[in-house]
A and B are shown apart, each in its own frame.
Chain A
Amino acid sequence: MTRDPDGGLRIGSPWPRRLLVSHGVLVYLFLYLPVAVLVVFSFNAARQTAVWSGFTLDWYRRLLRDDGLLDAVRNSLEVAAVTTGVATVLGTLAALALGRSPAGFRGQRATQALLMLPVVIPEIVLGAALVTFFGVSRLRLSLATVIIAHVVFSISYVAIVVRARLAGLDPALEEAARDLGAGPFDTFRRVTLPLLLPGVVASALLVFTLSIDDYVITSFVAGVGATTLPLHIYSMLKVGVTPEVNAVSTLLLAVTIVLIVVAQRLLQEDRRTT
Chain B
Amino acid sequence: MITPIASPSVEIRGVTKRFGEMAAVDDVSLAIGRGEFFALLGPSGCGKTTLLRMIAGLETPTAGTILIDGVDVTRMSPHDRPANMVFQQYALFPHLTVAGNVAFGLRYQGLPKRDWTAKVADALALVRLAGLESRRPDQLSGGQRQRVALARALVLEPKVLLLDEPLAALDQKLRKEVQVELKTLQRTLGITFLFVTHDQEEALALSDRMAVMSHGRVAQVGSPAEIFERPETELVAEFMGASNFFTAEARDAGPGLLGLRLASGAEIAVPAPAPPRGPFRPGDAVRFTVRPEKLTLCSSVSPDAAAVPVIIENCVYQGVSTLWMARGAGGEQFVVCQQNGAPVTGLPEASAGTAAFLCWNPAHTVVVQ
The answer to whether any beta carbons of A and B sit under 8 Å apart in the complex is yes
Please give me the 10 A-B residue pairs with the lowest Cβ-Cβ distance, nearest first.
A180-B105, A181-B108, A172-B91, A176-B91, A181-B105, A178-B78, A181-B79, A194-B95, A179-B85, A179-B78
Known: A175-B78, A194-B95. 17 other contacts (CB 8 A): A170-B91, A172-B91, A173-B93, A176-B87, A176-B91, A177-B93, A177-B104, A178-B79, A179-B57, A180-B105, A180-B108, A180-B152, A181-B79, A181-B156, A182-B104, A191-B93, A273-B95
Contact A178 B93 (CB under 8 A): no
Let me know if B94 is at the binding interface, CB within 8 A: yes
Which residues of chain B are near A172, meaning CB under 8 Å? Answer: 87-89, 91
Would A182 and B87 be within 8 Å (CB), given that A195-B94, A274-B94 are in contact? no
Contact B85 A176 (CB under 8 A): yes
Let me know if A183 is at the binding interface, CB within 8 A: yes
Let me know if B84 is at the binding interface, CB within 8 A: yes
For the complex, give the distance between the alpha carbons of A177 and B93 in Å. Answer: 9
Would A273 and B138 be within 8 Å (CB), given that A177-B104, A182-B105, A182-B108 are in contact? yes
For the complex, give the distance between the alpha carbons of A273 and B92 in Å. Answer: 12
For the complex, give the distance between the alpha carbons of A90 and B58 in Å. Answer: 29
For the complex, give the distance between the alpha carbons of A237 and B88 in Å. Answer: 62
Main secondary structure of the interface of A (DSSP, over half): helix
Let me know if B295 is at the binding interface, CB within 8 A: no
For the complex, give the distance between the alpha carbons of A93 and B345 in Å. Answer: 76
Would A179 and B56 be within 8 Å (CB), given that A172-B87, A172-B89, A273-B138 are in contact? yes
Report the minimum CB–CB distance from B142 to chain A (whole Å).
Answer: 16
Main secondary structure of the interface of B (DSSP, over half): mixed
Contact B156 A180 (CB under 8 A): yes
Residue pairs across A and B with Cβ atoms less than 8 A apart, 14 shown, are A172-B91, A173-B93, A175-B85, A175-B87, A176-B91, A176-B93, A180-B84, A180-B105, A180-B108, A183-B79, A191-B93, A194-B95, A195-B94, A273-B138
For the complex, give the distance between the alpha carbons of A113 and B56 in Å. Answer: 37
Would A175 and B153 be within 8 Å (CB), given that A182-B104, A182-B108 are in contact? no
Q: B residues bordering A, Cβ < 8 Å?
A: 56-58, 77-79, 83-85, 87-89, 91, 93-95, 104-105, 107-109, 138, 152-153, 156
Would A195 and B95 be within 8 Å (CB), given that A179-B56, A180-B105, A181-B156 are in contact? yes
Report the minimum CB–CB distance from A257 to chain B (whole Å).
Answer: 29
- Which of A181, A194, A274 counts the most B-chain CB atoms under 10 A from its CB? A181
Contact A273 B85 (CB under 8 A): no
Q: A residues bordering B, Cβ < 8 Å?
A: 170, 172-173, 175-183, 190-191, 194-195, 273-274
Report the minimum CB–CB distance from B88 to chain A (whole Å).
Answer: 8
Report the minimum CB–CB distance from B116 to chain A (whole Å).
Answer: 13
Q: Could you say which of B84, B91, B109 contacts A173, with CB atoms under 8 Å apart? A: B91
Which residues of chain A are near B109, meaning CB under 8 Å? Answer: 181
Report the minimum CB–CB distance from A113 to chain B (whole Å).
Answer: 26
Chain A residue with minimal CB distance to B107? A181
Which residues of chain B are near A191, meaning CB under 8 Å? Answer: 93
Chain B residue with minimal CB distance to A183? B79
Contact A175 B104 (CB under 8 A): no
Contact B105 A178 (CB under 8 A): no
Contact B156 A175 (CB under 8 A): no
Which residues of chain A are near B58, meaning CB under 8 Å? Answer: 175, 178-179
Which residues of chain B are near A177, meaning CB under 8 Å? Answer: 93, 104
Which residues of chain B are near A273, meaning CB under 8 Å? Answer: 94-95, 138
Chain A residue with minimal CB distance to B152? A180
- Which of A173, A179, A195 counts the most B-chain CB atoms under 10 A from its CB? A179
Chain A residue with minimal CB distance to B138? A273
Which residues of chain B are near A194, meaning CB under 8 Å? Answer: 95
Would A175 and B91 be within 8 Å (CB), given that A181-B156, A182-B108 are in contact? yes
Which residues of chain B are near A173, meaning CB under 8 Å? Answer: 91, 93
Contact A170 B56 (CB under 8 A): no
Which residues of chain A are near B108, meaning CB under 8 Å? Answer: 180-182
For the complex, give the distance between the alpha carbons of A177 and B94 in Å. Answer: 12
Report the minimum CB–CB distance from A184 to chain B (whole Å).
Answer: 8
Would A180 and B153 be within 8 Å (CB), given that A170-B89, A273-B138 are in contact? yes
For the complex, give the distance between the alpha carbons of A99 and B87 in Å. Answer: 22
For the complex, give the distance between the alpha carbons of A93 and B107 in Å. Answer: 27
Report the minimum CB–CB distance from A6 to chain B (whole Å).
Answer: 28
Report the minimum CB–CB distance from B166 to chain A (whole Å).
Answer: 14
Report the minimum CB–CB distance from A200 to chain B (whole Å).
Answer: 14
Contact B79 A179 (CB under 8 A): yes
Chain B residue with minimal CB distance to A274? B94
Chain B residue with minimal CB distance to A171? B91
Report the minimum CB–CB distance from A192 to chain B (whole Å).
Answer: 11
Contact A178 B77 (CB under 8 A): yes
Report the minimum CB–CB distance from A164 to chain B (whole Å).
Answer: 18
Chain A residue with minimal CB distance to B162? A179
Would A180 and B79 be within 8 Å (CB), given that A194-B95, A273-B94, A274-B94 are in contact? yes
